[in-house]
Chains A and B, each alone.
Chain A
């Protein structure tokens, strides 16, 4: 009997023991995240150093933290107020005092999208829903409708694209009857939802574009139109929902406000706008097309597999083995407004086949701007009106802000308000450009500012400085085909306006072009006084010949599909709009392409392309583990180029250096050199505590100081919580309206992203928060993000996906970036020497560290390709073994560089506040680790005891 008990129990103990040990290993591996979740610190620093990065709230204590959080909440409310975009107002806003009883329609009204799925904090306990915010403002909400929506079985589902809206059948007699009492106003809230790993769909579960108005939504709108005299639509979406229907009589609305993703506190700001406590001053960060499928980029967006993938063994498995997917961005530079506005100019000038049917989606026949565009980029209304005039211009500024424009803005209405000041430029598009396929947008945003709150009749002159670099175009044929940035001789037209379209019309008016019209198709004259001209007498191809000490030249031919398969694609060129992209569904990989792709997979057995150079040095080429004479605190203020860094790194062992490459929610302490453990958090809509208003809403505020404040608050939060790095902000572009993570990136406009990233990252870095801006770069769709081969032209790469990040480093001084899962051409971003070493570090002068996206990249290729840290991926052992077993001094050199960048970044972060000679690093175990060890030991003892007792019972049985 006893024997049977141990026979049964011992295997059970073994199962539990192995499960417990496995789980323990995982918990240990991700100890930084476990600590974070449990609110404990793995490493304690008992004596801190002098304050290098100070909080503006004073000492780090709970009283000051409370004050900071109160201000942060107010900042979020202000961001929502300034970032919401008024798109239509028939006079119902701001609400008059007679509005008391409100009916909320749309299932999302009880279940709004505060943010999409992604990193960053969850909804805060003291967060505010739309209903809370309305009731706090004194409105009474129709409970009958709210309860019915609350018990609805409908759910939105990002995987099927189900928007989760109730249709006509939802409106029972009881619900309709309830409208009678709550009929001062109907607020309709429509949402869209996507997020990490999930784009919105060109065809969703209902068989239509996920961004189109669905039949269920039409039913809601018809119900609202039929029963309410005032209907307000709130667009709760990080993606541009199609709104071309807004003026329809049967289901149109009286007013429409885009609110994006409001985070925990944004709805307070929304209600301030409704009541008139605040006046809308946001502007669209995307073009709102009548049909979202009309964007050239949308033609190639989704799941594309090489037609001969099987033949070459290309696969699509997990994180490491995605080699059979491709994406050709054949729209080139013509993303968002760069397409719609450029084609508009060519249309009114009647040239380049702009009036062809190619790309005509919403137009009746030939392509027509007003029929294709519902609302232009940069557009937004206010409760008042403004006039804008360029009253001053200078080209004598210092490098980086050569141009100074003075824009005089006057409040011509009768309500106080503020408004963005957007500066666009039109660069010459010449015969040379057409011959050499240098593409030029009709307008591009190059600067922005915002007025103060202007009283009726008040005016203000806003000064905006513009970097001449943003006027240059990349020409891959310049300098005898070596490539480079060029400013062509000719006239450069600067203009301002309420959005890109109005600014373009002002430029065209300055050029005496007639036949202009607005986005509604109404004829306009344009305002020449809102434009000015700067003339460049001679073509300048030398100013940007070198940047960051490196020559700027063609480097990305391998990321252009035509390099691998000549003539595979015709990129969209302005000189013939019939080149509007076609969907490239049957691309075949060549043997040469497959060879590169298979090198980076398990096909070769190691995933590694790297081989030790035969003439490379051994590991003795470097000093390792030298006596410690320099602590990290000694490295404060030491320039990156200083040889003292080599001496500092010499003190480390190879094992210590390899450990520094593993970020499992933070880095472990290296006590010998005085480096305490650090934690890092995901963003972009928060730094671990407060869920911010969405980044795209912040961008829509077009307020430079507010954007900088956002970065500053991230850094303040970090100071109080002891974090030194955050994977934030996001600077990929909204290449298409369907991008699953558009909500956490700035805009469709890479130049605007460049400007915003410079401000936000600059503010973070200034206060000591390492900002790992992500996902560098070209994470232009979530579909197949693990390794999709992404192709476009060098000009498009540089002025598109890369440009959005560039400002974070060259303007903001950012010291970190998280690389994208995708591939530049055929090589994973984190393994790509061209973008990480040659462009990021070489041309842009980046001195910080790069970190992979979670689990991406292989150890050796990544280190050689410019990666310094591996996110959620412990490659320390693999790197250590390779270097020591192969006596590979070359790889050791990469590892040393990685460590130098990591330490340089952290010593220039708020970690410096904790560094001193007296610092004591207590790298003890957290309480949960003791608990886990105890459980493992207990199960181990039980298992062994079970075996022993079983053995003894067996022996006894034999003896008997």
Chain B
């Protein structure tokens, strides 16, 4: 991979992490499902990616990807019960499943960008 491609991917990962964090922060408060650790991990990921753009420390892109990976796993843990409602066609656990899908999707895409950019 060319250096500029890696740079672009890391920039994209940082930007998407930041946007996801802002969206999550606002939306999750509305849905009363806010978890500070998600915000912290997204913020760390964005920070690491940004630093990696100016600092050639090799571990920074990987650290960002690690944060996003852990963040995805945690998010899955928080929202899986709500998805069971979709499966069972009931309104049992509740929750804003549309927003949850967006969180998961955005974090996963950020992770993939970070992964690719870390190469």
A interface, CB within 8 angstroms of B: 3-4, 7-8, 10-23, 25-26, 117-118, 158, 195-198, 315, 317-321, 602, 782, 786, 854-855, 950, 954, 957
Question: Would A321 and B74 be within 8 Å (CB), given that A8-B115, A11-B69, A18-B69 are in contact?
Answer: no
Q: Which of A11, A196, A315 contacts B92 (CB 8 A)?
A: A196
Question: Would A4 and B66 be within 8 Å (CB), given that A22-B74, A22-B76 are in contact?
Answer: no
Q: Which A residues are CB-close (under 8 A) to B8?
A: none
Please determine whether B65 and A11 come into contact, CB atoms closer than 8 angstroms: yes
Question: Would A321 and B32 be within 8 Å (CB), given that A23-B80, A197-B92, A954-B58 are in contact?
Answer: yes
Contact pattern, B 36-54, Cβ under 8 Å of A = 1, otherwise 0: 0000000000000000000
Main secondary structure of the interface of B (DSSP, over half): helix
Whether a CB of chain A sits under 8 angstroms from the CB of B14 is no
Please determine whether A19 and B76 come into contact, CB atoms closer than 8 angstroms: yes
What CA separation (Å) do A117 and B33 show in the bound complex?
27
What CA separation (Å) do A158 and B78 show in the bound complex?
27
Whether a CB of chain A sits under 8 angstroms from the CB of B118 is yes
What CA separation (Å) do A20 and B70 show in the bound complex?
10
Question: Would A950 and B72 be within 8 Å (CB), given that A318-B95, A319-B93 are in contact?
Answer: no
Question: Would A117 and B80 be within 8 Å (CB), given that A7-B118, A18-B72, A19-B73 are in contact?
Answer: no
Please determine whether A320 and B32 come into contact, CB atoms closer than 8 angstroms: yes
Question: Would A14 and B59 be within 8 Å (CB), given that A23-B80, A117-B89, A321-B32 are in contact?
Answer: no
What CA separation (Å) do A954 and B59 show in the bound complex?
9
Question: Would A17 and B118 be within 8 Å (CB), given that A11-B66, A198-B91, A321-B32 are in contact?
Answer: no
Q: Which of A7, A26, A118, A320 contacts B61 (CB 8 A)?
A: A7
Q: Which A residues are CB-close (under 8 A) to B59?
A: 950, 954
Question: Would A14 and B69 be within 8 Å (CB), given that A4-B119, A7-B62, A320-B32 are in contact?
Answer: yes
What CA separation (Å) do A17 and B71 show in the bound complex?
11
Q: Which A residues are CB-close (under 8 A) to B94?
A: 318-319, 786, 855
6 interchain residue pairs of minimum CB distance: A18-B73, A22-B77, A15-B69, A197-B91, A11-B65, A19-B73
Residue of B nearest to A196 (CB): B90
Contact pattern, B 82-99, Cβ under 8 Å of A = 1, otherwise 0: 000000111111110000
- Chain A's nearest CB lies how many Å from the CB of B79? 10
- Chain A's nearest CB lies how many Å from the CB of B102? 17
Whether a CB of chain A sits under 8 angstroms from the CB of B21 is no
What CA separation (Å) do A639 and B103 show in the bound complex?
54
- Chain B's nearest CB lies how many Å from the CB of A200? 15
Question: Would A11 and B93 be within 8 Å (CB), given that A19-B76, A23-B76, A321-B32 are in contact?
Answer: no
- Chain B's nearest CB lies how many Å from the CB of A10? 6
Please determine whether A26 and B32 come into contact, CB atoms closer than 8 angstroms: no
Q: Which B residues are CB-close (under 8 A) to A14?
A: 65-66, 69-70, 73
Whether a CB of chain A sits under 8 angstroms from the CB of B55 is no
Please determine whether A26 and B111 come into contact, CB atoms closer than 8 angstroms: no
Q: Which A residues are CB-close (under 8 A) to B74?
A: 18, 22
Q: Which of B30, B73, B77, B90 contacts A317 (CB 8 A)?
A: B30
B interface, CB within 8 angstroms of A: 30-33, 58-59, 61-62, 65-66, 68-74, 76-78, 80-81, 88-95, 111, 114-115, 118-119
- Chain B's nearest CB lies how many Å from the CB of A870? 14
Residue of A nearest to B65 (CB): A11
What CA separation (Å) do A724 and B68 show in the bound complex?
44
Question: Would A197 and B115 be within 8 Å (CB), given that A12-B69, A18-B74 are in contact?
Answer: no
Question: Which of B62, B65, B68, B92: most chain A Cβ within 10 A?
Answer: B62
Q: Which B residues are CB-close (under 8 A) to A17?
A: 73
17 contacts between A and B (CB under 8 A): A4-B119, A11-B66, A11-B68, A11-B114, A11-B115, A12-B115, A15-B68, A15-B72, A18-B69, A22-B74, A22-B77, A22-B78, A23-B76, A195-B90, A196-B91, A317-B30, A950-B62
Q: Which A residues are CB-close (under 8 A) to B69?
A: 11-16, 18
Residue of A nearest to B78 (CB): A22
- Chain B's nearest CB lies how many Å from the CB of A46? 34
What CA separation (Å) do A17 and B74 show in the bound complex?
10
What CA separation (Å) do A473 and B94 show in the bound complex?
39
Q: Which B residues are CB-close (under 8 A) to A117?
A: 88-90
Q: Which B residues are CB-close (under 8 A) to A197?
A: 90-92
- Chain A's nearest CB lies how many Å from the CB of B100? 12
Please determine whether A7 and B76 come into contact, CB atoms closer than 8 angstroms: no
Residue of A nearest to B77 (CB): A22
Q: Which A residues are CB-close (under 8 A) to B70?
A: 14-15, 18
Q: Which B residues are CB-close (under 8 A) to A319?
A: 93-94
- Chain A's nearest CB lies how many Å from the CB of B75? 8
Please determine whether B81 and A8 come into contact, CB atoms closer than 8 angstroms: no
Residue of B nearest to A315 (CB): B32
Please determine whether A22 and B73 come into contact, CB atoms closer than 8 angstroms: yes
Question: Would A854 and B92 be within 8 Å (CB), given that A14-B66, A18-B74 are in contact?
Answer: yes
Please determine whether B91 and A26 come into contact, CB atoms closer than 8 angstroms: no
- Chain A's nearest CB lies how many Å from the CB of B70? 5
- Chain B's nearest CB lies how many Å from the CB of A241? 22
What CA separation (Å) do A332 and B73 show in the bound complex?
51
What CA separation (Å) do A108 and B63 show in the bound complex?
57
Question: Would A10 and B66 be within 8 Å (CB), given that A17-B73, A19-B73, A22-B80 are in contact?
Answer: yes
Residue of B nearest to A6 (CB): B62
What CA separation (Å) do A321 and B114 show in the bound complex?
37
- Chain A's nearest CB lies how many Å from the CB of B65? 3
Q: Which A residues are CB-close (under 8 A) to B119?
A: 4, 7-8
Question: Which of A7, A11, A195, A954: most chain B Cβ within 10 A?
Answer: A11
Question: Would A11 and B62 be within 8 Å (CB), given that A19-B72, A318-B95 are in contact?
Answer: yes
Residue of B nearest to A3 (CB): B58
Question: Would A8 and B91 be within 8 Å (CB), given that A15-B73, A950-B62 are in contact?
Answer: no
What CA separation (Å) do A616 and B76 show in the bound complex?
42
Q: Which A residues are CB-close (under 8 A) to B33?
A: 318
What CA separation (Å) do A333 and B78 show in the bound complex?
44
- Chain B's nearest CB lies how many Å from the CB of A238? 16
Please determine whether B93 and A26 come into contact, CB atoms closer than 8 angstroms: no
- Chain A's nearest CB lies how many Å from the CB of B90? 5
What CA separation (Å) do A22 and B33 show in the bound complex?
16
Residue of A nearest to B71 (CB): A18
Residue of A nearest to B62 (CB): A7
Q: Which A residues are CB-close (under 8 A) to B68?
A: 11, 15
Question: Would A26 and B77 be within 8 Å (CB), given that A8-B118, A11-B62, A321-B32 are in contact?
Answer: yes
Q: Which A residues are CB-close (under 8 A) to B80?
A: 22-23, 26
What CA separation (Å) do A20 and B77 show in the bound complex?
9
Question: Would A318 and B73 be within 8 Å (CB), given that A198-B91, A855-B93 are in contact?
Answer: no
What CA separation (Å) do A68 and B80 show in the bound complex?
38
- Chain B's nearest CB lies how many Å from the CB of A496? 41
What CA separation (Å) do A22 and B76 show in the bound complex?
7
Please determine whether B32 and A318 come into contact, CB atoms closer than 8 angstroms: yes
Q: Which B residues are CB-close (under 8 A) to A15?
A: 68-70, 72-73, 111
Residue of A nearest to B59 (CB): A954
Q: Which B residues are CB-close (under 8 A) to A954?
A: 58-59
Question: Which of A3, A12, A22, A197: most chain B Cβ within 10 A?
Answer: A22
- Chain A's nearest CB lies how many Å from the CB of B10? 13
What CA separation (Å) do A950 and B62 show in the bound complex?
10
